[in-house]
Structure 1
Amino acid sequence: MVSGTADLDQKPKKKGWFPDSLVLIFSLIVVAQLLTYVIPSGAFERAPAPFNPHYEMVVAGSFSAAEEAPTLDAWHFLSAIPRGLASAQEIIFLVFLVGGVIALMRSSGAIDALLFRAVRRFGNSPALLIAGTLTLFGVGAFTIGMGEEYMPLIPLLVTMCLAMKLDSIVAMGILWAGYGVGWATAGTNPFGVIIAQNIAGLPPTSGLGFRIVVFALCILVSFQHIYAYARKIAADPGKSLVAHVDYSAGFDMPEDVSYTWPRRAILLIFGAGIIFFVYGAQNWGWYIGELNTIFLGVGVLTAIISRMDPNDAAKTFISGAAEMTAAALLIGFARTIEVVLTDGLIIDTIINAIASLLDGAGPSLSAIGMLAIQTITNFFIPSGSGQAFVTMPIMSPLAELTGVSQQTAVLAYQFGDGFTNMIVPTSALVVGTLALGKIPYVQWVKFVTPLLIKLFTLAILTLIFTVQFGEYIGFGN
């Protein structure tokens, strides 16, 4: 029991200075409706895209003002929200199902066993620890958008690094660089690239081969940055950015998690399911429905192999899906912005205005401009899926008007979202993980900023490369 005096002595928690993502997106919906009253209505002509007859692309030079501008009712933005949710239902259901299946896999112990095994195996060599775990965390984000799942490993990573005369900055660099790079270059992440490609009318997982190459390059850049810092503080511990922080308590080694054959089988089935879907998407035209089917199959087999009680498996699945509620609502609300702009016939006017600003800039500069827009947006909407639905409906047709391929537009979105995930102060995940690692935010910024400069330089060069040689690497669409 806590005494009343103790309660009175506690200082009230300060409210965050920045609005929640849902508050921000709801505000953008209201702003979108207000814009319909001041921006002239207009529209482009549209024609079936050559790479996807079910997707319509704008016809350059066909913009014309609307003969009769619609006037939206004052409460139109409220009635548009259910339509936004309905419009994004395919992706929303995917998010719920994937969340439930990931919960089943975590409940089986398979994911944690693999991660703990990797950390312990590489723990005797700083270079192997950094390279191995960095790649492993990156692959998790690259494939299924893992991020929050890494938080329980922070004490273990910090403990391992401290035991090797390193510091918590190295541990956090391993986790966040892997996570950020994995999201920024993802090939099958259902919460990021799959959504963006869906909006852009592209086949899911298309361009996977090139994304794997970019992923490897970004991992190498990240390894160089982290390992150089690790060698510096190993030679002189006083140069550690957190030399002043006390790490004498709170970082005990957790109990070992056994890497059993059932857990190995679950991971093999999951890997086989991802490979099967990628093959089906590229050869048989599979899409979101087939991806849902495969994830459900993986979930059922996970429950069977790990011998879960059916009722426990159902509760675990529902709990995992429930954790995705915030993400699902953000997706539906973000889609509502497009619904309102479309109802007011001003989305094409906005696209035409941006395209006019980029007129004469060329595809390469336009692609870099898209990267800049996506990067800035991520500081305000750190949700990758939410950001996709806010920006891609504008970036996709803008790409057509500026000579940028849809694949490059999607990659610009990925870069802008993924890399800045390492540093955005509006992300609860960033703040939470830094707190677990006892790392002051300012010290973290000092470490990660040079890495971001390196990664964004590589991102800009990559975007220019895809503009110039996209047709040779599967980025011509």
Structure 2
Amino acid sequence: MRQVNKVTNLSIPKKTREINVFVLLTIVLAIALILTYVVPAGEYQRTEIDGRSVVVPNTYKHVESASLNLMDFASSFHKGMVEAADIIFFVLIIGGSFGIIVSTGAIEAFILSASRKLGNKEKWLIPFMMLFFAIGGSLIGMAEETLVYIPILISLALSLGFDVITGTAIVLVGASIGFTTAVMNPFTVGVAQGIAKLPMFSGIGFRIVLFIIMYIVGAWFVYRYAAKVKADPSKGFFGDGKYTKIDKTKTDIPFTGRHKAVLICFLLNFVIIAFGVIKYGWFMTEISGMFIILSIIVGFIGRIHPNTFVENFMSGSAGVISGALIIGVAKAVVVILTDGRIIDTILYSAASVLDSVPAYLSAVGIYIFQAIINFIVPSGSGQAALTMPIIAPLADLVGVTRQTAVLAFSIQDGIGNIILPTSGYFMAGLALAGIPWTRWVKWILPLIAMQYGIGLIAVIVAHLIGYGPF
């Protein structure tokens, strides 16, 4: 099956050949079950501090083994879904709200309007459009939704004397910058902070600074390459010629006052959420409520019929159902480790290793661990659900703030989105552009190295300043 985008009328591959995340997580779940027969059972004492459960150091002790069976394995899927229900519905509501916004055509109209205006202003095309996709990735986790704009940006890039890689990078690298910094991304930082019991979207100032740095480096890298291609086309990649210079008849969609009103409400919603989080300590329930209010207001502005409103909301939720279910399956792994009484043994072993090194190296260790997990579980929300129940208490034990641990997770998740072959939407983007993965890797590797370096420095600095609140 193939999906045809209603804006560009271009045929888009619905799926690329990839490793299914659910299969990987089921394998991990089976390994966790086997470990309950191999790893000694043990427990830490825990105490409550400001509403969160905290491991008490030096209280680990061996307890009676609780090896699980096949029924425990099968039941863990349901248990995981139930225990992660608050996060799953949070994701579904926000996905539904985004479906309403998309249905108004405001985002498409804005991008196409910007494309027309920047069609002969090459100096502004790359930084401006990358900034838009970066903001989208950082605020609402735009990922798969960005793919339909790759053909438009490729055609624009070709019109300005650039190449296919330039047009693709504007979209993929831009969105990745947003995921890496995740200023207010509800699907990554939002989920991770919820599990770690941190105030929702706390630590935003540090992430804004990181966003600016990552954006400058990313835009500079893409623009520098594009300039080289324009000066010497032999250095570029032009694929098989299926994309040509932009045809403005395909992008002649007006950016109306109604579209502007929708986007203003969308941005205002984030301002109100930020205020509510900082002033009143809003969490998932209140933030979900704000997105419901936003959806209703946007529905009125867009003059969407109630029946159509519901259909668009459900369509938006359906778009994130895979990620929501991944959260539940990832939580099932934690259920097995917890019911098998080995999760604290894993914590104890990891803490014993990290206790022998300086605390800032413990933060680096968490950073490296997330990089490894990111390859196995490229889904940001799924990775948060899998790792945060272990990493958050581990951070407490080794003297690293939970906020720093969440930062390490979000950085690794974002960077992996534009290089790992296990990232489904990334590989779909390359397939859409006709760029071989090996060709892309050869081009982007220097930027990836810079981003990993910046991320490493950010994690170390976060540890040194006690990035918190805890």
Q: When the two structures are superposed, what TM-score results if normalisation uses the length of structure 1?
A: 0.92
Alignment length, in residue pairs? 455
C-alpha displacement of 1:187: 2.0
C-alpha displacement of 1:438: 1.9
Of 406-415 and 55-64, the range deviating more from structure 2: 55-64
Equivalent position of 2:230 in the other structure: 234
State the identity as a percent.
Answer: 37
Which of residues 262, 283, 286 is equivalent to 2:282?
Answer: 286
- 2:168/2:433 contact within 8 Å kept: yes
Q: Residues 248 and 358 of structure 1: is their aligned pair in 2 closer, same or farther, counting only changes over 3 Å?
A: closer
Residue 106 in structure 1 maps to residue 99 in structure 2:
no
C-alpha displacement of 1:90: 0.7
Aligned-residue RMSD, C-alpha: 1.7
C-alpha displacement of 1:475: 2.7
1:48 aligns to what SS in structure 2?
A: strand
Equivalent position of 1:33 in the other structure: 33
Which of residues 231, 241, 244 is equivalent to 1:246?
Answer: 241
1:361 aligns to what SS in structure 2?
A: coil
Equivalent position of 1:159 in the other structure: 155
2:200 aligns to what SS in structure 1?
A: coil
Structure 1 outlier segments of 4+, above 3 Å: 15-19, 247-253
Equivalent position of 1:3 in the other structure: none
Give the Cα separation in 1 of the matches to 2:434 and 2:165: 9
Equivalent position of 2:341 in the other structure: 345
Which of residues 330, 340, 346 is equivalent to 1:334?
Answer: 330
Letter in 1 for 2:24: L
1:49-64 pair list within 5 angstroms: 49=49, 53-64=50-61
Give the Cα separation in 2 of the matches to 1:64 and 1:270: 51
C-alpha displacement of 1:256: 2.0
1:52-131 pair list within 5 angstroms: 53-66=50-63, 68-131=64-127
Residue 260 in structure 1 maps to residue 260 in structure 2:
no
Letter in 1 for 2:53: E
- 1:362/1:402 contact within 8 Å kept: no
- Could you give the per-residue CA deviations for residues 222-272 of structure 1, whole angstroms, max 9, x where no partner exists? 1121111111111111111x1564246596442322211111111111111
Letter in 2 for 1:393: P
1:179-328 pair list within 5 angstroms: 179-240=175-236, 242-243=237-238, 245-247=240-242, 252-253=247-248, 254-328=250-324
Letter in 1 for 2:52: Y
Give the Cα separation in 2 of the matches to 1:317 and 1:262: 19
Q: Residues 56 and 123 of structure 1: is their aligned pair in 2 closer, same or farther, counting only changes over 3 Å?
A: same
Equivalent position of 2:22 in the other structure: 22
Of 306-315 and 160-169, the range deviating more from structure 2: 306-315
1:458-473 pair list within 5 angstroms: 458-470=454-466
C-alpha displacement of 1:415: 0.9
Structure 2 gap segments, 5+ residues each:
1-14
Letter in 2 for 1:92: I
Give the Cα separation in 1 of the matches to 2:274 and 2:116: 31
- Could you give the per-residue CA deviations for residues 63-91 of structure 1, whole angstroms, max 9, x where no partner exists? 1111x222323310111221110111111
Q: Residues 476 and 190 of structure 1: is their aligned pair in 2 closer, same or farther, counting only changes over 3 Å?
A: closer
1:47 aligns to what SS in structure 2?
A: strand
Residue 475 in structure 1 maps to residue 468 in structure 2:
yes
- 1:100/1:320 contact within 8 Å kept: yes
C-alpha displacement of 1:390: 1.1
2:368 aligns to what SS in structure 1?
A: helix
Letter in 1 for 2:189: V
1:191 aligns to what SS in structure 2?
A: helix
Q: When the two structures are superposed, what TM-score results if normalisation uses the length of structure 2?
A: 0.93
Letter in 1 for 2:468: F
Equivalent position of 1:45 in the other structure: 45
C-alpha displacement of 1:221: 0.6
- Could you give the per-residue CA deviations for residues 120-156 of structure 1, whole angstroms, max 9, x where no partner exists? 3333232311111111100001001011111111111
C-alpha displacement of 1:158: 0.5
Q: Residues 162 and 19 of structure 1: is their aligned pair in 2 closer, same or farther, counting only changes over 3 Å?
A: closer
1:342-381 pair list within 5 angstroms: 342-381=338-377
- 1:72/1:344 contact within 8 Å kept: yes
Give the Cα separation in 2 of the matches to 1:311 and 1:139: 31
Letter in 2 for 1:33: L
Give the Cα separation in 2 of the matches to 1:245 and 1:17: 20
C-alpha displacement of 1:108: 0.3
C-alpha displacement of 1:381: 1.1
- Could you give the per-residue CA deviations for residues 138-193 of structure 1, whole angstroms, max 9, x where no partner exists? 00010010111111111110011001110011111111111111011112111100
C-alpha displacement of 1:17: 7.5
Letter in 2 for 1:56: S
Equivalent position of 1:8 in the other structure: none
Equivalent position of 1:149 in the other structure: 145
1:206 aligns to what SS in structure 2?
A: coil
